[in-house]
Amino acid sequence: MSDQSTRLWNIFVDSFLPLLKAGVLFTIPLTLISFALGLIVALLTALARLSDIRVLSGIARFYVWIFRGTPLLVQLFIIFFGLAHVGIIIDPFPAAVIGFTLNVGAYNSEVIRAAILSVHKGQWEAGFSLGMTRMQALRRIVLPQAARVAVPPLSNSFISLVKDTSLAASIALTELFGKAQQFTATYYEPLLLYTEAALIYLMFSTVLSFLQARLERRFDRYSAR
Amino acid sequence: MILQMTNVKKAFGRHEVLKGIDLTLNKGKVLVIIGPSGSGKSTLLRCMNLLETPTDGQLSLGGVSLDFAGGRKSAKNAVLEIRKRTGMVFQSYNLFPHRTVLENIIEGPVIVQRKPVEVAKLRAIELLRKVGLADKADAYPHQLSGGQQQRVGIARAVAMDPELLLFDEPTSALDPELVGEVLKVIRELAAEGMTMAVVTHEMKFAGEVADQVVFMDNGLIVESGSPDQVLKRPANERTRMFLSRLTDTK
Ligand SMILES: Nc1ncnc2c1ncn2[C@@H]1O[C@H](COP(=O)(O)OP(=O)(O)OP(=O)(O)O)[C@@H](O)[C@H]1O
Ligand SMILES: [Mg+2]
C-alpha cells in the first residue's frame, strides 16, 4: 500500500511540471490567440448582421448558423484531417487556432450583436445630431456602452474556451490534456493523471475568473440609467 | 433665411405622418411648434436634421438644399453637413452615460469639428458656466438631476455652434420644479439671437419666446403666425379646441 502511494506520488511529481508546461506553452496561447482573433471575427460578423446590406447580413447569418449548429470537435476534424485529405495540410496548432477562432467568433458575434442592440436608439441619434458618421457613433458612443453589457457573457465564453482547447488533443496537438493522455499511456494511471490535468485547468480558469471580475469592475465606473 | 421646407412629406410605410409641410425660419428667430399628441411635431423636427428622411419635398438649411421628390436618396455628405449645422436637444436628454459632463460637451467639437481638445475644453467650461453647472464638469450624467442633465444637453448642442437649434419637448421628462431652470437657459439663448425650433407644451413659455407659432394637427400645419395670433386669437377651430383643452387641464 505504501509502495503504491510512493509510486503514485512519484508519477504526480514527474508529470506535474511537464503538464503545466504543456498548459503554458499550448493551452494558454491557443486560448488567447483564438479568443483575440475570435473577437475580431465576432465584431465584424455582428456588424455585418446589423448592416442594411442584405448579402452581408446573409453571409454572416450563414456562418453563425454553420458554426453554432455543428459540434466543435467535428469542425476541428474537418479542418485538420478533412482538409489534409484534399492536400491542404495545416499543422495542429494553426489548425486548432482556425477552428477555435471560427467557433468562438460565431458564438460571440451573437453576444456582441445583442449588446449593440441593447444600446438605446437615442444614443445613436445623439451622435448623429452632432454630425457623426455611423462609424464615429459606433466607435465613440455605442461600442463603449455595448462593451459594458458584453463583458460578462464574453468572459464566460473565454473561460469555456480554456476548457474546450482540450479538444485539440484529438487533432494531435499535445497541449495539457494531450500530454496527460501521453503520460497515461506510459504509467496506466488514468485517475491520477486526468485529475491532475483537471486541477491545472481549474487553476487556469480560476485565475481568469479573477481577472474577469476586475475587468467588470473597471467597466462599472458609470452606471446605466 | 436659415430653414426652408417646401411640401415636405414623411410616411412610415403606408402611414403618412407629414402630409406636405411648408415652413420658413429666418436667422435669429424662434419657431414654436404646438399640437396634439401624434400630430407629427417630433417627426417634423427630426426631418429638419434628417434623423428622419422625408419621403417627398425640399429642404434647405443654411445654403444646403436637398430634394426628396420621388423618394430620392440624398448624398451622405449633404446629410452630415446639415447635421453639423443643426443641434438637437432631446426630451430624454440622451447624454452619453459613459462620459463625464465635460466629455459629453467636447465630443462633437473634437470628433466632428476636429478642434484641439484644449480649445474645446475652454469653450465647454464657458458653456457650463453659462448653464450654471461649472462645478459639474467631472460628474457623470447619472449623478445629475434631470434639469441638470438637460442643461448639459443644451450645452452639448450649443458647443457645435449650430445655425439652428432644435428642441423636442425639452422639459416634458422633468419634475415640475425643474422645468424653470431649463426654460431659463432656452430664453437666454433666444435673447442672444440663437435661431431655434421648439416643440413644447409650455404655452406661457411659448408666448414669451416665440416669434412664430405653428399649430400642427394630423400631419399638417393648420395655423401659423405670431404668438398673439395663434395662441390668443386662433382663427382655426381645431387650434381653439386644442388650446382650451390645455387650459382646462391646468
Ligand atoms: N419610427 C416610426 N415608425 C412608425 N411610425 C412612427 C414612427 N415615428 C412616429 N411615428 C408615428 O407618426 C405619428 C406622429 O408621431 P410624432 O412622434 O411625430 O408625433 P408628436 O406630434 O411628436 O406626438 P407627441 O406629442 O406624442 O410627441 C404617430 O402616429 C406615430 O405613431
Ligand atoms: Mg413628439
What residues of B are in contact with residue A132 (Cβ under 8 Å)? Answer: 108, 111-112
Query: Would you state the pLDDT for residue A86?
Result: 95
Cell numbers 458612443 correspond to A141
How far does A155 lie from chain B, in Å, by closest CA? 21
Sign of CA dihedral A36, A149, A126, B46: positive
Decide: helix, strand or coil at residue A96. Answer: helix
Q: Among all chains, which residue has been given the C-alpha cell 503545466?
A: A20
Q: What is the pLDDT of residue A1?
A: 58
Contacts of residue B100, Cβ cutoff 8 Å, sequence gap at least 6 = B137, B138, B139, B140
Q: Is the CB of B172 under 6 A from ligand 1?
A: no
Distance CA A11, CA A195 (A): 13
For residue A120, what pLDDT band results from cuts at 50, 70 and 90? very high
What is the mean predicted confidence (pLDDT) over A220-224?
60
Tell me how far apart the terminal alpha carbons of chain A are, to the nearest angstrom.
65
Structure confidence at residue B35 as a pLDDT band (50, 70, 90): very high
Quote the pTM value.
Answer: 0.90
Distance CA B78, CA B72 (A): 13
Which numbered ligand comes closest to the C-alpha of B37?
1
Backbone angles phi, psi at B34, to 5 degrees: -125, 165
Domain ranges within chain B, ordered by starting residue: 94-161
Query: Are A224 and B97 within 8 A, CB to CB?
Result: yes
pLDDT at residue A173 greater than cutoff 50: yes
Instruction: For A223, name the nearest residue in chain B, comparing CA atoms only.
Output: B142
Q: How close, in Å, is residue A59 to chain B by CA atoms? A: 26
Given strand B3-12, what is the order of strands in its sheet? B15-25, B3-12, B56-61, B64-67
Q: What is the mean pLDDT of residues B199-213?
A: 95
CA–CA separation, A202 vs A200, rounded Å?
5
Q: DSSP 3-state assignment of A223?
A: coil
Backbone angles phi and psi of B223, in degrees to 5: -150, 145
Name the percent of chain B lying above pLDDT 70. Answer: 98
Q: Is B170 on the interface with A (CB under 8 A)?
A: no
pLDDT of res. A191: 94
For residue B89, what are the β-bridge partners?
B167
| B18 close to ligand 1 (CB < 6 Angstrom) | no
- Do B156 and A221 make contact, defined as CB atoms within 8 angstroms? no
Rounded to the nearest integer, the mean pLDDT of chain B is 95
With a cut of 70, say whether residue B9 has pLDDT above it. Answer: yes
Q: For A145, which residue in chain B has the nearest alpha carbon? A: B98
Q: Does B64 touch chain A (CB under 8 A)?
A: no
Instruction: Give the ligand at the shortest distance from the Cα of B10.
Output: 1
CA–CA dist B72, B54 (Å, integer): 9
The answer to whether the CB atoms of B95 and A126 lie below 8 A apart is: yes
- Tell me the domains of chain A and their CATH numbers: 3-159+176-224 (1.10.3720.10)
Closest Cα partner for A129 from B62, B128, B157?
B157
The CA distance from B88 to the nearest CA of chain A, in Å, is 6
Cα torsion A67, A70, A73, A74: sign: negative
CB pairs under 8 A between A and B: 70
Q: Which three cell numbers stand for residue A211?
A: 481577472
Return the number of other C-beta atoms located less than 10 Å from residue B33's C-beta: 28
Suggest the residue from A124, A128, A130 to mutate for an interface test with chain B (most B CBs closer than 10 A).
Answer: A130
User: Is any atom of ligand 1 closer than 6 Å to the C-beta of B10?
Assistant: no
Q: Do B94 and A125 touch (CB under 8 A)?
A: yes
Which pairing describes strands B196-199 and B164-168: parallel, antiparallel, or unpaired? parallel
CA distance A126 to chain B (A): 6
pLDDT at A192: 94
pLDDT tens, position by position, A11-27: 999 999 999 999 999 99
What's the rounded Cα separation, in Å, for the pair B40 and B148?
Answer: 28
Taking an 8 Å Cβ-Cβ cutoff, which residues of chain A contact chain B?
A: 120, 122-123, 125-126, 128-133, 136, 140-141, 144-145, 148, 221-225
**B86 neighbors B63 (Cβ within 8 angstroms):** no
Model confidence pLDDT, tens digit, residues B46-58: 999 999 999 999 9
Q: Which ligand 1 atom is the nearest neighbour of the CA of B40?
A: 18
Helix spans in chain B (H):
41-48, 76-85, 101-107, 117-130, 146-158, 176-191, 203-209, 227, 237-249
Q: Is B111 on the interface with A (CB under 8 A)?
A: yes
Angstrom distance (rounded) from CA B171 to CA B178? 8
B247 in contact with ligand 1, CB cutoff 6 A: no
Kindly identify which residue of chain B lies nearest to residue A128, measuring between CA atoms: B83
Residue B18 has pLDDT above 60, yes or no: yes
Prediction ipTM score: 0.95
Report chain A's mean pLDDT, rounded to a whole number. Answer: 93
Asked if pLDDT for residue A184 goes beyond 50, the answer is: yes
Q: What are phi and psi of B133, to 5 degrees?
A: -130, 30
| Closest atom of ligand 1 to CA, residue B91 | 27
CA of B44 to the centre of ligand 1 (A): 10
B148/B180 Cα distance (integer angstroms): 11
Torsion of CA B122, B123, B127, B133, to 10 degrees: -20
Query: Is residue B42 lining ligand 1, measured as CB closer than 6 Å?
Result: yes
Name the DSSP class of B10: E
The residue written with cell numbers 439663448 in the block is B189
Say yes or no: CB of residue B180 within 6 Å of ligand 1: no
Residue the block writes with cell 506520488? A9
Distances from the Cα of A171 to the Cαs of A99, A168, A174, B100, B126, in angstroms?
11, 5, 9, 50, 64
CA distance A138 to A127: 9
Does the structure show a pLDDT above 80 at B134?
Answer: yes
Q: Whose CA is nearest to atom 13 of ligand 1?
A: B38
Q: Give A214's pLDDT tier (boundaries 50, 70, 90).
A: confident
